[in-house]
Structure 1
Amino acid sequence: MTNQQSNPDSLPTSSNENRRDFLRNRVATSAIAASTLAIPAGVSAAETKSSTSANADSSNPIRIALVGCGGRGTGAINDSLTINDGVVLVALADLDIQKCDQTRRGMTSRHADKVNVPDAKMYAGLDAYKRVLADPDVDVVLLATPPGFRPYHISEAVDAGKHIFAEKPSCVDPAGYHVCLDAHERAVANGTAIVTGTQYRRQTNYIEAVEKIREGAIGDIVSATTRYCSNSIWFKNRKPGMSELEYQLYNWMHFVWLSGDQIAEQAVHNIDALNWVMGSPPESAYGSGGQFTRPEGSEMWDSMSVDYVYPGERVVSFMCRQIPGTQGDNGSVIYGTEANMHIAAMSGGSRIVDRKGKEVWSVAGSISDAYKQEHKDLIDSIRDGKPIVELKQTADSSLTAVLGRLAAYTGQKVTWDFVTDKSTLDLFPQDMASNGVPPSQGCAIPGKTKLV
């Protein structure tokens, strides 16, 4: 399914409005077609809109639901319940009802006074998110399913009048990017908050580093490097009796339509930070890489190197890698005419080094605090009646990751104009029925994989 080309006849490109309507509607049809994986729920779709008028009243608790009860989703709801007062977890959704139960038990043990999830508010199946969005008792939904679903879940959540926390990346292809842009515009118009899981935007050492750069502390930006290099990542073998769809959802990291490959699913954090530093997405990308150590059946490459060219002919050299036994490196260096800014990922802090190699400024940072702060900012913005809507910036960064992936996969120089205006790439399956998703065609091969 890597770089699967959509049927041009089924994806209108003459009108952005028609194209977006088509994409927004298709996921609903796909979820219905996948009913063999869903457990029916008794909530009427007519009860879609929740009343958000009471959200500004601090005496009323803000009611939160989680869609996607894996490690990242459970971490997100724990962060929200930890940092926020006056919130309560009221619903859970996942493909697997056991994960809902595990999350409920875990959150109850940590935050007993902030959890009220009855059995009737635990939903399982591909359409479980619809039961959450149709629940009038839900004010805020946390979206942490595999990224391939993210644009469509966000779009439907905006339509349902829910405030949103959406994990990164927000899209894995240009089709999803346009869905996000449309959802962003509607959220602004409707007063619907959308905060995204780009925690570095709220991490002290990143914020202060960007402020220093803006103040001219390193002179003019000349170029930059950014790395997200680690060892390996999980892989799940197929269980007996699994359909192709069930297996791909189970082992979602290794299918590009679901994860976007490591550059989008993981390294987007560093790409987002560089877009922030540079003040815009890049103009083009040229890259390389390949697959050397992945288990059989994985579509993911295990290394990728991309040169991004930003306005002003400023080049960012990007690399991501997941290869066992290799040396890790995670962070960015911004090279200026007067000094260099080193921004370490995780909790590594930031520092300025002058031309003589002397450290002239430094600041610490805590990623655990940043994880919590994004949830506090979301809830505070709702209560203040000034909802944050930051989907576009994360969609831009997610598409920047896609831009680099397409350049590496195809061996072509790819421009931002192409991925935003001309590409018809749409990785989301046309038929989400359990027997409708085709087996993987293997990983991308430069020179053979086409740019669409």
Structure 2
Amino acid sequence: MNSNKTQKTTASEAAPVQPAANRRQFLSTAGAAAGAVAATSGVHTEVLGQNPQSPTEAVRIALVGAGGRGGGAVNNTLTINPNVELVAIADIDEEKPARLRDQMAKRYEKKVKISDQSLYTGLDAYKKILDDESVDLVIFTTPPGFRPQHVMDAVDAGKHVFAEKPTCVDPAGYRVCLKAHQKAIANKTAIVTGTQYRRQVNYVEAIRRLHAGEIGDIIGATSRYCSNGIWYRNRRDGMSDTEYQIYNWMHFIWLSGDQITEQAVHNIDLMNWLMQGPPESAFGGGGRFTRPKDSEMWDSMSIDYRYPGNRFISFKCRQIPGAKGENGTMIYGSEGTAQILGGNGGAWLKDKDGNEIWSMKGDIGAAYEQEHKDLVQSIRAGDPIVEFAETAASSLTAVMGRMAAYSGQDVSWDFVTKESTLQLFPDDIDLSASRESGHAIPGKTKLV
């Protein structure tokens, strides 16, 4: 598939919301009842028991996408949450589900309860998980292009969801995300996303202080996500074009959205969080120098995002082996500055004279776990978190920057949300099919 070609969006309105599954109702009402008992006793009580007929029934979790991020997400939720069980795994690769099941069973023997019959493979393997009424929560860590429809189908099936970032790679997928968000609210099912900085304590506190005006009015910022390269997988003998592109998904835009969407969305999400909403427009450029010949990815992008109030954030992302890495955001206020670094880098605020007025260390490992803890606790409390639209907006902000760089045009938020017909991810996938590829060229690649 040529990433410069487009298809019209054909996503139809989803079916009416069905009544919530009995098991989900039981978990939420039982969790709420247990919370009420704890509140009246004056003692905080974790929901822990094992009796399936009690308010402490285990939350049953399934995974779709058994690669490295899938293994990381499962490890996070099994580590931080008491009384959860991993009960099914699906992946397109027939070897991965069993391998990951065995790895997790060695670490969490009592929390991994997966028979061979609950290991699924193939493009439609996730549907078998959604058909299993005993599954409460599904974790999606597939290539991002799959995310919108996978989550929509899960919401239709009455499942709670953890969805890795980004949540879409094009405007068509963004619109599906918005529908899924609204249906989840109506269904009373949770959708928590893998934007762990939203739950990293130094990020949360820094943003709280910035919104409280501790360095005055926010004037603008610079943000960078620059790393030293990314993985690449050589084609295996006998693979069709489609099979190869899914296997090597990072390098094909219909699956990954390019680095600005797949990797750098973390910093773009921080930008929108800081500015309390998405930008009005994007203008920028970039290029490719070191990518493998068949990769559609660019090496670097530099985008100027204009936010309401004529405030600008200059954003750069880069993946070039041997080049200097840098990950963080510098914020400029009318009364001082702030810096929030990626990973464990920490954060600080300074006044106009450069005196530090606040700082805090970072702990990204705790944040990865906290997002899964918050999700499960919201399910048990009967008050499910639904944050899909928020992360979809950050994902589309990244897509908007990519569209601006690829086309060489100024791209507005109104255009990508209301007018663009760009749909990179097909409605149906034929694994045996041939598929074109090719990288974008500004001035030739059209804005659609």
Equivalent residue for 2:221, pick from 200, 219, 224: 224
Contact 1:50/1:137 (8 A) holds in 2: no
Residues in 1 aligned to 2:435 and 2:212: alpha-carbon distance in whole angstroms: 52
Matched, 1:185 2:182: yes
Instruction: Output aligned runs, 1:236-255, within 5 Å.
Output: 236-255=233-252
Equivalent residue for 2:26, pick from 41, 45, 54: 54
CA gap of 1:49–1:256, structure 2 versus 1, over 3 A, is farther
Give 2:89's aligned residue. Answer: 92
Matched, 1:76 2:73: yes
Report deviation, 1:406: 0.1
Percent identity between the two aligned chains: 59
Structure 1: runs of 5 or more not aligned: 13-18, 26-47
Structure 2: runs of 5 or more not aligned: 31-54
Give 2:164's aligned residue. Answer: 167
Provide the secondary structure at the position in 2 that maps to 1:213: helix
Provide the secondary structure at the position in 2 that maps to 1:55: helix
Matched, 1:350 2:347: yes
Residues in 2 aligned to 1:133 and 1:287: alpha-carbon distance in whole angstroms: 41
Give 1:35's aligned residue. Answer: none
Residues in 2 aligned to 1:274 and 1:429: alpha-carbon distance in whole angstroms: 30
Contact 2:169/2:399 (8 A) holds in 1: yes
- Give the TM-score of the pair, scaled to structure 2: 0.91
Contact 1:227/1:330 (8 A) holds in 2: yes
Contact 1:63/1:137 (8 A) holds in 2: yes
CA gap of 1:20–1:287, structure 2 versus 1, over 3 A, is farther
Contact 1:50/1:138 (8 A) holds in 2: no
Residues in 2 aligned to 1:106 and 1:344: alpha-carbon distance in whole angstroms: 33
Residues in 2 aligned to 1:65 and 1:244: alpha-carbon distance in whole angstroms: 29
Provide the secondary structure at the position in 2 that maps to 1:368: helix
Report deviation, 1:328: 0.6
Residues in 1 aligned to 2:22 and 2:274: alpha-carbon distance in whole angstroms: 37
Residues in 2 aligned to 1:256 and 1:145: alpha-carbon distance in whole angstroms: 14
Report deviation, 1:357: 2.2
Report deviation, 1:431: 4.2
1:345-376 alpha-carbon deviations (Å, 9 max, x no partner): 10111101222222221011200000000000
Give 2:359's aligned residue. Answer: 362
Equivalent residue for 1:271, pick from 268, 273, 288: 268
CA gap of 1:147–1:383, structure 2 versus 1, over 3 A, is same
1:13-71 alpha-carbon deviations (Å, 9 max, x no partner): xxxxxx543xx69xxxxxxxxxxxxxxxxxxxxxx957202213341000000000000
**Amino acid across the alignment from 1:280:** G
Instruction: Output aligned runs, 1:380-395, within 5 Å.
Output: 380-395=377-392
Equivalent residue for 2:447, pick from 434, 437, 451: 451
Provide the secondary structure at the position in 1 that maps to 2:97: helix
- Give the TM-score of the pair, scaled to structure 1: 0.91
**Amino acid across the alignment from 1:205:** N
Matched, 1:436 2:408: no
Contact 2:243/2:432 (8 A) holds in 1: no
Give 2:302's aligned residue. Answer: 305
Contact 1:284/1:415 (8 A) holds in 2: yes
Contact 1:50/1:161 (8 A) holds in 2: no
Provide the secondary structure at the position in 2 that maps to 1:52: helix
Residues in 2 aligned to 1:400 and 1:316: alpha-carbon distance in whole angstroms: 12
Equivalent residue for 1:138, pick from 132, 135, 140: 135
Residues in 2 aligned to 1:434 and 1:206: alpha-carbon distance in whole angstroms: 42
- Segments of 4+ in structure 1 off by > 4 A? none
Equivalent residue for 1:118, pick from 99, 115, 120: 115
Provide the secondary structure at the position in 2 that maps to 1:419: helix
Matched, 1:202 2:199: yes
Give 1:373's aligned residue. Answer: 370
1:366-389 alpha-carbon deviations (Å, 9 max, x no partner): 000000000000000000000000
Give 1:41's aligned residue. Answer: none
Residues in 1 aligned to 2:434 and 2:380: alpha-carbon distance in whole angstroms: 42
**Amino acid across the alignment from 1:200:** Y
1:54-109 alpha-carbon deviations (Å, 9 max, x no partner): 21334100000000000001100100000000100000000112111121111111
Give 2:331's aligned residue. Answer: 334
